[in-house]
Amino acid sequence: MEGNLLAGRAGLADSRRVRHLLPMTFRAFADATRPGLVLPGPVHPAHLQDTSVAHTLDEVRFDLDAYDLAWQDHLTCVGFPRAVHERTRSGAVSDGFMRDLAAWLRRDIDPDAPAESIPLLLDGLATRSSSPMSQRNAAADLGYTPDTFTLRLARLVRSFAGLWCPQRDDRGRIVQGSQAKLYLSDPIPTGCRAGSTQGATNQT
């Protein structure tokens, strides 16, 4: 039996209680882990080049190193509450969390496949993340039928392990007919990809 399949989002009790939580945003992560860090207000991506944004950023540029360190920390746990707690308390996300995360992904995405199927899938997607991906070609390369591959990607996104990012114009509107890019959430690529001993380990 694989334990804690919600990877810290359902608590650590032995009961079957489920408390389904979305991963924390970077803003929520920074607010929880660095209460003294000044957080500018949210800005729509289409307005990032506005003069007002430049002025706001100029006021906090003295703390640039703190923002960089906060972002690097966030990338190690992606806002999963248990991972954030472990990272804040001990400086690292535990192997136990990574085992739970691997088990959670396998149950949600490909429960009947061998344990190594998810690390192989994630590794294959990560190597194709630098440009728009041809799903048909990727499916053939990774040994999936097109329909099965599409289903795996849909389950990956529903499990918060991946995110489709559509192309947008200068006003922030989705470019019709353009191909979206699929990005994986960290630390999933490093902790559960092929070649990682954590990703292939099941917790009993």
Percentage of residues of the chain with pLDDT beyond 90:
7
CATH number of 95-192: 1.10.10.10
Tell me, what's the pLDDT at 5? 46
Q: CA 201 to CA 204: how far, in whole Å?
A: 10
Q: What is the pTM of this model?
A: 0.60
Q: Token pair 């009947």 is at which residue? A: 112
Tell me, what's the pLDDT at 147? 92
Residue 6 has pLDDT above 70, yes or no: no
Nearest to 96 by CA among 10, 12, 23, 22: 12
Residue 66 has pLDDT above 90, yes or no: yes
Query: pLDDT digit string (tens) for 21-46?
Result: 567 888 999 998 998 998 888 888 77
Contact 128, 27 (CB under 8 A): no
Enumerate the CATH 1.10.10.10 domain ranges in the chain, comma separated. Answer: 95-192
Confidence of residue 170 (pLDDT cuts 50, 70, 90): confident
Tell me, what's the pLDDT at 134? 83
Q: CA 156 to CA 8: how far, in whole Å?
A: 18
Q: CA 130 to CA 171: how far, in whole Å?
A: 23
**What 3-state class would DSSP assign to 174?**
strand
